[in-house]
Amino acid sequence: MSSPTPVKILLDDRLRLMSTALAATDFPEKAQERKRHHAHAHARAAIKHLQDRDMGKHPAIVALQDMLNQGTPIEALFALAMFLKWPGLDAPVLPDWVPDGWNKQLWDFYEKSEAGVFWKAADKSWEAAKSESERVFTDKVHFKELLELFVGEIKEEFVFVPNLLWPANREIGIRVENQLISIVPPPLAWGESPPWPFDEETRLAEHTYPMALAQYARLLMMNYLRTHSDELAEATEKDLPINDELKVQYPTWEDQFLALFQSGVVAIYLEDYINPTEAKGFMLMEKRVRKMTELPGTVSVLRRFLQQKGKKFETLTDFLTVFPSQLRVAKKIVTL
């Protein structure tokens, strides 16, 4: 009998429906404008499938497009999907930002678009993605034990959802009851080549592990910061020493620290559990793609906390008061 897997692999029709609905909006086009990428064949086929049925004019899609235009986060839409009951998409009450009756419209879209038939035709691809993910997230994955060093005991279940639809080039992390769910597309290949499998060995440390871990880290740390907000009031008044590009991308102290922590934890994980070369490659990519020049310093400071935990610092809240000043120093002396 195999050892229990610390990350549960899930395929959920509610999430597939939200991913499919996005294909009927301008979301794929806008994503391509931000960065060109060759989506999975199933994601590209979804656009044609829906266009052939003129689904862009369906009330559910018109309302979804309006929510996107108003800046509704993708994470909120996928969390909403998991809030609805399957089948039928019933809900006791919808959030204020969701148009009245939209869940019923979305179910009508599911039926009229023949989304279920469309997914069924690609069943082999979905099952392959599930099997690949199960091979990746075995009992050799140590996400929880690393993150517990920072946030304490973790009672939530880690869930990984392979996503062959949209978004096709970025992951999504949502919290649903006691589950932390990371929704991840397959690793993109170069140019017009199809995406790699989730268990492609050369992409594990570049894609599958970092994307999943980064979302678990973000969700857990977001909850930690909010739970300890009173204790962290003093710390959050100290500006974090980050470059101007990151300040524009992450306007609040919480956003800035979450971005640093996510990438820092991934780098530490790769160095400790995969190999130092992969960690260095990840940090160079973060520096090049996300302009995160502070990452080597962040890793150094987070490691210092782990070394001094239980001695100089009891918890992360104690350490965060000195995090900005330590990062300021580390940035000057720690380089790749």
Domain borders along the chain are 7-184, 228-333
The values of phi and psi at residue 183, to 5°, are -105, 115
Residue-wise pLDDT tens digits, 115-142: 999 999 999 999 999 999 999 998 779 9
The amino acid present at 291, given as its one-letter code, is: K
pLDDT above 50 for 2: no
Backbone angles phi, psi at 184, to 5 degrees: -130, 130
Mean pLDDT over residues 40-60, rounded?
97
Taking the CB of residue 178, how many other CB atoms lie within 10 A of it? 8
pLDDT greater than 80 at residue 191: no
Q: How far apart are CA 335 and CA 43, in angstroms?
A: 40
Look-up: residue for tokens 């160095």?
271
pTM over 0.85: yes
pLDDT the model gives residue 190: 75
Q: Cα 265–252–184 angle (5° rounding)?
A: 45
